[in-house]
Amino acid sequence: MDNRKWYALYTRSKAEKKLALELQHAGIEHFLPLVLRLRQWSDRKKKVEEPLFRSYIFVKIESRDFWMIQNLPNAMRLVSFGGNPVEVPLQEILAIKHYINDPETEEEAEMAALTEGQLVRVKTGPMEGLIGRMVHYQNKFRLVVMIETIGQSIRLNIARTRVEEINDPDFTNNGHH
């Protein structure tokens, strides 16, 4: 049985790619979300691949690996709460992968409009069950998903047909009942 879970590992400054190599050599499954960004130098512009979240890399490990992981040269510490490493839900990893692999997909949908800031739940597809806030942007429906473990948000293009409004008054902003 696979007891490995996803965790966020805090890296040394600008060492995300070096740490990814260290993890690869150690045989540790990891995920470093990279995006192309346009960089401006005095003499030129260039697209460079940079981490989506600076100083974070995700690792899929068992609890017995915590000590070893944090002792890699470019690792700082696992993102923890109350001294315990916080598991990153698989849905959040899938949402980030979807964002990176498919940043601009959209299906037109003739459905009831959602208002900005409306809480919605994804009802179909790989991110089913994921909850986020709706943002209307350039005639596209984009779901803003908070990756709570590291307190960062990403904008996902999710078709209106795939989301439903959440009208539960007991539902709070932090994603817990």
Residues 6+ apart with CB under 8 A from 118: 133, 134, 165, 166
**All structural domains of the chain:** 5-88 (3.30.70.940), 100-165 (2.30.30.30)
Q: What is the CA radius of gyration of the chain?
A: 18
Q: Which amino acid is at 32?
A: L
Q: Give the pLDDT score at 106.
A: 38
For residue 15, the SS3 value is coil
- pLDDT tens, position by position, 76-104: 999 999 989 999 999 889 888 887 876 44
Query: What six digits make up the tokens of 122?
Result: 């994804």
Below-70 pLDDT ranges, the chain? 102-114, 135-149, 168-177
Average pLDDT score, the chain: 80
User: What DSSP line would sit under 150-162, residue for residue?
Assistant: GTEEEEEE--GGG
Q: Mark residue 43 as left, alpha or beta (left: phi above 0; alpha: psi -120 to 50; beta: remaining).
A: alpha
Query: Which one, of 96, 95, 100, 102, lies nearest residue 163 by Cα?
Result: 95
Q: Give the pLDDT score at 48.
A: 83
Q: Give the pLDDT score at 108.
A: 37
Q: Give the pLDDT score at 107.
A: 39
| DSSP label of 67 | H
Query: What six digits make up the tokens of 100?
Result: 């990176």
CA distance 159 to 174: 23
Q: What percent of the chain has pLDDT over 90?
A: 38
Question: Is 120 in contact with 163 (CB distance < 8 Å)?
Answer: yes
- Sort 91 into a burial class: Cβ within 10 Å, 0-12 / 13-18 / 19+: middle
Query: What six digits make up the tokens of 46?
Result: 């260039």
